[in-house]
Structure 1
Amino acid sequence: MEMVEEFNIKICWGNFTFDYVYSPSVGYSGGILCVWDPRLFLKVNSTISDYFVMIRGEWISNGKKMLIICIYAPQELSEKKLLWDYLIFVIDNWNGEVVIMGDFKEVRTPAERYGSIFNVQGANAFNSFISSTGLEEVPSGGCSFTWCHKSANKMSKLDPFLISEGLMSSCPNITATTLDRYLSDHRPILLRQSHDDYGPIPFRFFSHWFEMEGFDEFVERTWSEIQTTDPNNILKFMKKMKCIKEKIRAWIKTKKENSYIQKKNLKADLAEIDLLLDKGEGDSDILNKRIYVSKSLQDIEKMESMKVAQKAKIKWTIEGDENSKYYHGILNKKRSQLAVRGILVNDTWIDSPCLVRNEFLSHFKSRFDQPGVSRLHLNIEFHNKLTMDQKTDLECDITRDEIKRAVWVTCKHRTIFFFY
């Protein structure tokens, strides 16, 4: 690559502090250019092909080994399958994290195509490749389609980011955002680790709190002790709820700290008891103490499992043990999928926490706010009106004789027995 082309890279990158690897274009097919900051990523070696650029190296800040693959997939299904098989072989033999990006020329579901035929065989091969490598698709924000035909009658999602499960677990806030495409047929996509602050964390009530000793008594006592002087009953109730939430948070935090210390001490006691038993110095008291310590540890572990189970919303007895990598992967994946990264407002992607909060407030305020004072009035004189006796009769309480009379009138041709 000539120096003038490096200068062109500098114009896009912003400075000359970069390293790069590229695959030249073949015919009308565009080439692949990968650029990075050598102060953040240290390249060890690279592999270049017509369909991909593969870079192996280390992320300097945390020392993680990274395999970064940029794809420009072929059009033919047979060539794609060969590419998927080769990448499966490379990833299976790589001991580190994986990031794959680029134009895959394939979609995963029919919803990712518009105006064109969905290729079931190609989608199955692509999904099988993702499943075999254990990769996860990064949730994307912004527009649903990343590629658009120049006539705008065909659109597809061809450019996902695929990352390894370990990277998804360590970076649960990672997200991909599509940008404006302007004159290009592909949208640029930004992959980043975002930490959005949407204000105070909402109060979540966990069912395992009811299993904690003294929780019910604490709530009842605290509720009765809270005193408010507001004359409005609704505001009084809201203030008491706010106060008791703060009290519960403080109580749960103290319980967690005590549980951690208790668990640490119980483990130390269990280790000492096992050491004595290993020396043959155990007696009935030691054995009874070990049973008590083991039961106390199991109770603490059960409480912690109930907490994590509610967060993950899965039955680990069916889908995996709570201490497994799979289980925690499910937990982090659900967190990533449920995270609010932004919203689409009038075809514009908004990810600023302040603007997102305002949009949510405006949305629900328009539905639950008090209606305006201007109402529709009918300026018509109705001829048939209820008399005062009729109004009084409608508003009075229903008597037992009235019910009996209505039943007899309705069912006069049937035999009905009343029991008093």
Structure 2
Amino acid sequence: MKGYVVGSGDPINLVNVYAPQSTAAKLSLWNELAGIIDPSVGLWVLSGDFNAVRSSDERKNSNFKPACAENFNNFIFSSDLHEYPMQGRKFTCIRDNGKKLSKLDRFLVCSDFFIKWPSACVRVLASQFSDHCPILLELVDLKFGPKPFRVYNSWIGKPGYEDAVKEALVGFDSFDPSDSCLTAKFARIRAQLKIWRDKFLAKESELEKTALAELETLESDMENRELSEDEEWSLVENKNLIKETEIRRNLDIKQRARLRWAVDGDENSKFFHALVNNRKIVNAIHGLSIDGVWCTKSAKIKHKVLSFFRDRFKEPASVRPDLLLSWY
């Protein structure tokens, strides 16, 4: 099916999959789907019963076929598809009165869909009339309050950074309680740094464009004549500026991804942004099952989490013995 995502206007292609049983037939289906997927015509979402698992952990008390799993994983990788972690349950297919469990149903989305909705939630619903559990893809973004503002290490030492922090605290009056005062300080610093960041990135982008244009002109002139001393100096400076800008961006991506790159200087930033979004998805709380009911209201989720940890770390003794008395 082809259509548009409500509220965003993005074109989307939805494919309903019901894969066959044999490994050869499924491989033929993966090849056919890989030929159909075209990122230029919009976003892609594949859902349904793929009749295949990606690892042995997705099966319980049933046969695992490594060749079938390898074909399935190769198809996902080659088609640049991503999968959201499932909430609620680990398996979607229940057979032989619960003796055999498998994860056969799933959502596979293209990288653009994955990056656009990194906080989407895939939830497994209860199975009532079938041996397969329904799965639900929700694009609702829960609001648990303001997100933390990330300061990149590459910003420290840049012109105007320290001045922006100092300017944010000019005229700030401390108040009680101290934790609320500290939160207010951080809020002012965050707001001022956002203004500095936008100006810094805009200026950096403008300088980079100018350097690239001058570098292209100088390299073209090199083929027809000898460069003067000033032009040689300008050539070196422009190259250093472009290199420093790229290094700073790579450092930011490495800090976001929290992993060491296999090769320093790899420019495949889209891949690493996908890794970052995957980390966010794994750590995100999309909802909780409270008294057997799936809840997505942020206020109730916060209250339940607070109650859980408060009860877990609460001391059972109401009166503690005096330390001096324990010496005798």
Picking from 283, 293, 298, the partner of 1:338 is 283
Letter in 1 for 2:273: H
Letter in 2 for 1:245: F
1:262 match = 203
Structure 1: gaps (5+ residues):
1-54, 387-420
> Are 1:157 and 2:103 counterparts?
yes
Question: Contact conserved, 2:122 with 2:136, CA < 8 A, in 1?
Answer: yes
Distance (whole Å) between structure 2 residues aligned to residue 165 and residue 207 of structure 1: 27
Question: How has the CA–CA distance of structure 1 residues 343 and 109 changed in structure 2, closer, same or farther, with 3 Å as cutoff?
Answer: farther
> Are 1:363 and 2:304 counterparts?
no
Letter in 2 for 1:193: L
Question: How has the CA–CA distance of structure 1 residues 189 and 319 changed in structure 2, closer, same or farther, with 3 Å as cutoff?
Answer: farther
Distance (whole Å) between structure 2 residues aligned to residue 190 and residue 209 of structure 1: 41
Instruction: Report the identity percentage.
Output: 28
Distance (whole Å) between structure 1 residues aligned to residue 294 and residue 264 of structure 2: 36
Q: How does 1:29-44 map to 2 (within 5 A)?
A: none
> Are 1:121 and 2:60 counterparts?
no
Letter in 2 for 1:356: I
Q: Could you say which structure has the larger radius of gyration?
A: 1
Question: How has the CA–CA distance of structure 1 residues 272 and 128 changed in structure 2, closer, same or farther, with 3 Å as cutoff?
Answer: closer
In terms of mean alpha carbon deviation, does 295-304 or 131-140 score higher?
295-304
Q: How does 1:325-404 map to 2 (within 5 A)?
A: 325-345=270-290, 347-369=292-314, 371=315, 374-375=318-319, 386=328
CA deviations on 1:2-32 (whole Å, 9 max, x unpaired) are: xxxxxxxxxxxxxxxxxxxxxxxxxxxxxxx
Q: How does 1:6-405 map to 2 (within 5 A)?
A: 55=1, 57-59=2-4, 62=9, 64=11, 66=13, 68-91=14-37, 96-149=42-95, 151-213=97-159, 215=161, 228=174, 230=176, 235-236=177-178, 238-239=179-180, 241-267=182-208, 269-270=210-211, 273=214, 277=218, 284-285=229-230, 287-289=232-234, 291-292=236-237, 295-296=240-241, 298-316=243-261, 318=263, 321-322=266-267, 324-345=269-290, 347-369=292-314, 371=315, 374-375=318-319, 386=328
Question: How has the CA–CA distance of structure 1 residues 208 and 363 changed in structure 2, closer, same or farther, with 3 Å as cutoff?
Answer: farther
CA deviations on 1:367-389 (whole Å, 9 max, x unpaired) are: 445x3663488xxxx9x984xxx
CA deviations on 1:299-357 (whole Å, 9 max, x unpaired) are: 44433432232112234462873454333333333333333222344554333222222
Look up the SS of the partner of 2:263 in the other structure.
Answer: helix
Distance (whole Å) between structure 2 residues aligned to residue 196 and residue 150 of structure 1: 37
Question: Contact conserved, 1:135 with 1:164, CA < 8 A, in 2?
Answer: yes
Distance (whole Å) between structure 1 residues aligned to residue 239 and residue 78 of structure 2: 40
Letter in 1 for 2:266: D
CA deviations on 1:84-130 (whole Å, 9 max, x unpaired) are: 34333444799654322111222222222233333333333322332
Letter in 2 for 1:210: I
Structure 1 residue 259: Cα displacement: 0.9
Question: Contact conserved, 1:179 with 1:190, CA < 8 A, in 2?
Answer: yes
Distance (whole Å) between structure 1 residues aligned to residue 159 and residue 111 of structure 2: 37
Distance (whole Å) between structure 2 residues aligned to residue 101 and residue 156 of structure 1: 16
In terms of mean alpha carbon deviation, does 147-156 or 157-166 score higher?
147-156
Question: Contact conserved, 1:92 with 1:133, CA < 8 A, in 2?
Answer: no
Letter in 2 for 1:154: K
Distance (whole Å) between structure 1 residues aligned to residue 39 and residue 199 of structure 2: 45
Q: CA RMSD in A?
A: 3.9
Look up the SS of the partner of 1:144 in the other structure.
Answer: coil
Structure 1 residue 289: Cα displacement: 5.0
Distance (whole Å) between structure 2 residues aligned to residue 204 and residue 273 of structure 1: 34
Distance (whole Å) between structure 2 residues aligned to residue 84 and residue 176 of structure 1: 22
Q: Number of residue pairs matched?
A: 319
Look up the SS of the partner of 2:156 in the other structure.
Answer: helix
Distance (whole Å) between structure 2 residues aligned to residue 136 and residue 321 of structure 1: 21
Question: Contact conserved, 1:266 with 1:293, CA < 8 A, in 2?
Answer: no
Question: Contact conserved, 1:320 with 1:327, CA < 8 A, in 2?
Answer: no
